[in-house]
Chain A
Amino acid sequence: MSALDLTRLTAAQLSELLSSRTVSAREVAQAHLDRIAEVDERIHAFLHVDTDGALAAAGAVDEARAAGDRLGPLAGVPLALKDVLTMRDVPTTCGSRILEGWRPPYDATVTRRLREAGIVILGKTNMDEFAMGSSTEHSAYGPTRNPWDTERIPGGSGGGSAAAVAAFEAPLAIGTDTGGSIRQPAAVTGTVGVKPTYGAVSRYGLVALASSLDQAGPCSRTVLDAALLHEVIAGYDPMDSTSLAEPVPGVVASARRADVAGMRIGLVTELGGEGYQAGVRQRFAEAVKILEGLGAEVVEVSCPSFEYALAAYYLILPSEASSNLAKFDGIRYGLRVGDDGTRSVEEVMRLTREAGFGAEVKRRIMLGTYALSSGYYDAYYGSAQKVRTLIQRDFAAAFAQADVLISPTAPTTAFRLGEKLDDPLAMYLNDVATIPVNLAGNAAMSLPVGLAPEDGLPVGLQIIAPAMADDRLYRVGAALEQALFDRWGGLLIEEVPAR
């Protein structure tokens, strides 16, 4: 099998070839490492490629298979890991200078589960610094480029993971989503991304941005691939006190079921796309028609509090982040600046953080410090937490009328590099449709529903499920994906310019 073919396959397809021993894990790993070498200088999805580690892991899978060991379905399948998750002895930077060169002494639970499943981790992917951003332009190590048009952003904060998958550098990736950082990159790169229910995937080893919003999740080119990866990483973890004890819902079974007949699908008025790019609205409307054609009943629901979601998010996130990022002070790990023997520890801390953090991070740290400070807490942080309650109530009311909710994932297709860098507020607006989900803790998926006619760039549709009903995402997503596949004669991602 030629190397080019191997990188064009889905994880499910690779899984079959590997388990039937048609191809070895080392061959698969090498094919993808070659692909990375070919395209990543331009795409810059990866911050670190762990060539030796990946080949060793692949070799171990081949040996185990030869010995007749029972292996999981994804054993030997390669994956790209967002650089916000710790990986023992492998550089983990979170896209920041302040952690340049840091090699963690421990694996995140997600990392451990990937390894135990025999998944071959190719390397760490680029991201907005400490996951703050919607374009990956805030990485301290340079931006990642969208494979569809390398002058455009791949989304953020997990642009690296999405671009790696979209550029066929890996069939699978892990991202993290705090306000849309898996879903929005998926939308603008024509790939699939899922934010599981809050607590479904362990946060132990996930460097915290906003502790009450963060979740790790699967990135892939198909809904089934995402489901297979979802089942590997989800599940109770005693190291994470916010981890859910409930069993992982049958997401793979739901993805294979792919049937929406009789389901009620809610269109959220407030996420209906008013003010969104025309092509985005058009493709979304077409997808709604397809779902109706498949037997779903489409209903209108209203969630008035969603108007306040963005404001609440940009108070809660910076507040929690300002506290989470306090540990980066040059004392125990990472960058230390200004320690020339004359300065006090206070000065060294201040100089280190000033030099180590980028502008967006500093902005949010100050915003959060302000929102929590004495005299302002009630008006800002306290009020935002109340909006959270209202958003949960609106979701509950909506889910009484519908099994899932849908919306366009993002207001626009991929914008140009540099276009929104000087206007933080304009950048924040990219997350307007995805944010309510994180505030409430529900599960959501983005999958590609077409290219916008005006620019030929991917458009994503967001499916939202109630907390702990992640399987509904896969059921609806797979049905829609199949219908679109039939219409296009293949996956949309096949249209991405060859590089």
Chain B
Amino acid sequence: MSHATTQVMGFEAALERFDPVLGLEVHVELSTATKMFCGCSTEFGAEPNTQVCPVCLGLPGALPALNRAGVEAAMRIGLALNCEVAQWCRFARKNYFYPDMPKNFQTSQYDEPICFDGWVDVDYDTPEGRRTFRVGIERAHMEEDTGKNLHMGGATGRIHGADYSLVDYNRAGIPLIEIVTKPIEGAGRYAPEVARAYVSALRDLLRALDVSDVRMEQGSLRCDVNVSLRPSPEAPFGTRSETKNVNSLRSVERSVRYEIGRQAGILADGGRVHQETRHWHEDTGLTTPGRSKEEAEDYRYFPEPDLVPIAPSREWVEALRATLPENPAVRRTRLAEAWGISDREMAAVVNAGALDLVEATIAAGAGQSAARKWWTGELARVANERGVELADLRITPAQVAEVEALVKSGTLNDKLARQAIEGVLSGEGTPAEVVAARGLAIVSDDGPLLAAVDEALAAQPDVAEKIRGGKVQAAGAVVGAVMKATRGQADAARVRALIFERLGVDG
């Protein structure tokens, strides 16, 4: 039980007194066509219990059959993380009872993971500049997901207070890869940033490998955060807490920061940190303890007798290594050079999670500067406002390129382009459809513009005088009035030219 009354220590103060050590466990849901141990479909959105068979329903007599694509994905993930691939490994049964477990054991890997002992470099920003941290990878292994419980009768839909539960086994047996880091030591005050950077880099890597949808909010990438504190880097590890329900990159960073403060508060008070599982709450920004169990579960691992050992040949391993996509960091350097942008500019693109989108927008015809501007500017702002990922916005790189093309051709100006994008995001259609429906195109016909110019000049005779007198800057007020009158659908430069024309002045 945690001491609810102990003050959470401020982050800076905590870092002064303690050295944080992190451990991150990430579960990746693979995007294979079938489950790990049976041929049931993995498609989303099916009616409950319609994607089950004797195997994944745990019926008496059923036996597992291992999905080759799951094994290959595990090996590719391990290779991309610079891991060793085991010469020989087995599956193991992890025995425990829970209603969403069809067999009341999970087929997983225990002391013989298929991949182990790797590393990945992650970049993070500090006031002093961009830094790189090497996160050690302990292991990556194969296992299966559970079914889903729906808790009924309670107020919140959560377990507490529920009268009963309804179980759907469609997701039971979905292939999972569990990736566990080695203890992350030496991040110091940047532990929250490093944790976030790791999960982000991992996500990029997995996306590049095309093994998973890696959507944290959908649950295809799940993160458990382990935090412990010690008085100094030389001291032995302290007791760690494990935090679950960390469903976004933001949550990763915030939960690490919070746990450091919470544990520091306890330790500074002379208390002991309990080894427990905690639940992160993004809305309130704190962790709460899970239900404490009387006895630690003894999983009684033993080698899975229904599956035979896997001994990947070195030829197979090398063949898979050849299929690995370009290392994301290497790719960033290459693209920065190709686009002629600085590290800082590239960092801005990467931080916004926009690299793939920018690249695709350029491929669709936009210039690199414009593509970057849109994705790291307006679209990033919208995504942030809505609390979603850039990739989740309802606009494609091709559509952004289309909008930019309209700007370049003079059909839209910057302001109108923003409106067009807003329309696409709202589901009104393609850029061309939005421009047409909303009548966004810049007025290119001088006729209506001249009428608006005359009206504006007539309304501001003193300004017109100034302009005639040579004060060309004063034209700005007239331009503004015309833009207002035309609801922004005028090319400002053309308006300005028309004003001077009308007044018989050289602009």
A touches B (Cβ under 8 A): yes
Q: With a CB–CB cut-off of 8 A, which chain B residues contact A328?
A: 60
Are A204 and B62 within 8 A (Cβ)?
yes
Within B51-75, the residues touching A (CB, 8 Å) are: 54, 57-66
Contact with B54, one of A106, A211, A326, A372 (Cβ below 8 angstroms): A106
Are A345 and B99 within 8 A (Cβ)?
yes
A54 at the interface (CB under 8 A from B): no
A102 to B61: give the CA distance in the assembly, Å: 13
B488 at the interface (CB under 8 A from A): no
Interface of chain B: mostly helix, strand, loop or mixed: loop
Are B298 and A374 within 8 A (Cβ)?
yes
B103 at the interface (CB under 8 A from A): yes
Contact with B61, one of A104, A319, A374, A377 (Cβ below 8 angstroms): A104
Q: With a CB–CB cut-off of 8 A, which chain B residues contact A326?
A: 95, 97, 103-105
A328 to B102: give the CA distance in the assembly, Å: 10
Q: With a CB–CB cut-off of 8 A, which chain A residues contact B99?
A: 331, 345
Known: A241-B66, A329-B104, A345-B99. A207 touches B298 (CB 8 A): no
Interface string of A80-123 (1 = CB under 8 A from B): 00000110000010100001001011101000000000000000
Q: With a CB–CB cut-off of 8 A, which chain A residues contact B57?
A: 332
A212 to B90: give the CA distance in the assembly, Å: 14
Known: A326-B104, A349-B97, A369-B300. A205 touches B61 (CB 8 A): yes
Are B61 and A208 within 8 A (Cβ)?
yes
Are A99 and B97 within 8 A (Cβ)?
no
A482 at the interface (CB under 8 A from B): no
Are B95 and A374 within 8 A (Cβ)?
no
Are A241 and B300 within 8 A (Cβ)?
no
A-B pair number, CB within 8 angstroms? 96
Interface of chain A: mostly helix, strand, loop or mixed: loop
A92 to B54: give the CA distance in the assembly, Å: 15
Interface string of A58-83 (1 = CB under 8 A from B): 00000000000000000000000000
Are B59 and A333 within 8 A (Cβ)?
yes
Interface string of A308-330 (1 = CB under 8 A from B): 00000000000110110011110
Are A372 and B59 within 8 A (Cβ)?
no
Are B102 and A327 within 8 A (Cβ)?
yes
Instruction: Please give me the residue from chain A that is nearest to B296 by CB atom.
Output: A374
A210 to B306: give the CA distance in the assembly, Å: 10
A377 to B99: give the CA distance in the assembly, Å: 26
Contact with A345, one of B102, B165, B300 (Cβ below 8 angstroms): B165
A102 to B306: give the CA distance in the assembly, Å: 24
A373 to B97: give the CA distance in the assembly, Å: 15
Instruction: Please give me the residue from chain B that is nearest to A111 by CB atom.
Output: B61
A329 to B302: give the CA distance in the assembly, Å: 21
Contact with A332, one of B58, B65, B93 (Cβ below 8 angstroms): B58
Q: With a CB–CB cut-off of 8 A, which chain A residues contact B65?
A: 238-239, 241
A44 at the interface (CB under 8 A from B): no
Contact with A108, one of B61, B66, B305 (Cβ below 8 angstroms): B61
Within B119-178, the residues touching A (CB, 8 Å) are: 165, 167
A108 to B167: give the CA distance in the assembly, Å: 26
Are A239 and B298 within 8 A (Cβ)?
no
A206 at the interface (CB under 8 A from B): yes
Q: With a CB–CB cut-off of 8 A, which chain A residues contact B102?
A: 327, 332
A319 to B303: give the CA distance in the assembly, Å: 11
A242 at the interface (CB under 8 A from B): yes
A364 at the interface (CB under 8 A from B): no
* Residue of B60, B64, B65, B103 ringed by the most chain A CB atoms within 10 A: B60
Q: Apart from A345-B165, A374-B298, what are 5 other A-B pairs with CB-CB below 8 Å?
A: A86-B61, A99-B60, A327-B102, A329-B104, A372-B95
A-B interface, 5 closest residue pairs, ranked by CB to CB distance from nearest: A326-B104, A372-B300, A211-B305, A212-B305, A207-B60
